[in-house]
Amino acid sequence: MLTVLAAIVLFGVLITVHELGHFLAAKATGMLVTEFSVGFGPLLYQRQVGETLYSLRIIPFGGYNRIAGMEPGEEDLPRGFGSRPLWARMITILAGPFMNFLLPVVIFFGMYALSGIDIPVDQPIVGSTMAGYPAEQAGVVPGDRIVSINGVKLTQWKEISEQVQASGPVPSKLVVERGGKVQNLTLKPQYESETNRYLIGITPKLNHKDLGLVQSASTAVKAVSRITVGMLQGIKLMVTRKVSAELSGPIGVAQMAGDVAAQGAIPYLGFMAFLSINLAVLNLLPIPALDGGQFLVLVVEGLRGKPLAPRAKGIIQMIGVGCILFLTIYATLHDLIH
């Protein structure tokens, strides 16, 4: 039950926020929006406000808005999407992903302002060990200071990873300081094929810091930027086949949402923020039928000085829908198998 509820809220919020971005931008640039709906399917409630019908529907997985001029045959409507200036159409397309970037900024801001932030120390001090990994098996415990690895003295946390990668599968000799006493330990780094790295299974010690409103805002923006860069790097590694492509479909995401929700509200909100960034990044990829693909079409039209033929747009759209449908089916089958 928790998994179902967590998934409904997650998908509902992320998709509705995305569509709200398109809606607000369309309104702001003078486009006619005939309907904005929260949910899909049979109608529960509706209210006409001006030229827009606001509706609530029974299936809570997201929402949609109807912008005039985006359906075949509507290209020439006076206040339709196609009749507005190029800049207005570009803003409207990009506003959806923008809102998916803005949501995690707001979530992280609230978390940092209320709870502060845990900052990893730069010194080679162990904060925790991962169950079943070499460090735990060798006897490393939280609070240990790693003095050296294979005779190389350490002063910074990043040097631990450098020495572990240099050692590779060869057993490493660690000198750790614990309670004022020095201990010698030996462990064999564990290879992780997904990241193509050797790990020993430790995390750094964390220092808690309370943040003011300005610091909370700037830290939230930096966090979203850092996660975005990490996702782009991950996509690059998958495209270049340096790491294996592991896709999670709706079933897998729903299961993760339930697992995280069971840990509490803060982890769940953090997961929502992370997934919102993921949705924004994926939507900006230049794939037809996604916002990035539609934006690319607008760029091409701007360079040509005239719109693409409706038939060409239709073919591009069909190719994009086919790609997305294939990936969705593949990811769902992957979820079911695993």
Say which amino acid occupies 334.
Answer: H
| Catalytic-role residue among 19, 192, 246, 301 | 19
Distance (Å, whole) CA 164 – CA 3: 38
What residues contact residue 306 under an 8 Å CB cut-off, 6+ apart?
Answer: none
Distance (Å, whole) CA 98 – CA 277: 9
DSSP output for 96-121: HHHHHHHHHHHHHHHHHHHH-EEEE-
| Bridge partner residues of 37 (DSSP) | 55, 64
Identify the sign of the CA torsion 224, 230, 232, 234: negative
What residues contact residue 170 under an 8 Å CB cut-off, 6+ apart?
Answer: 188
Say which amino acid occupies 207.
Answer: N
Distances (CA, A) of 296 to 93, 115, 283, 291, 315: 10, 41, 12, 9, 15
Q: How many CB atoms lie within 10 A of CB 295?
A: 18
**Active site annotation includes 159:** no
Q: How many CB atoms lie within 10 A of CB 281?
A: 21
Catalytic residues: 19
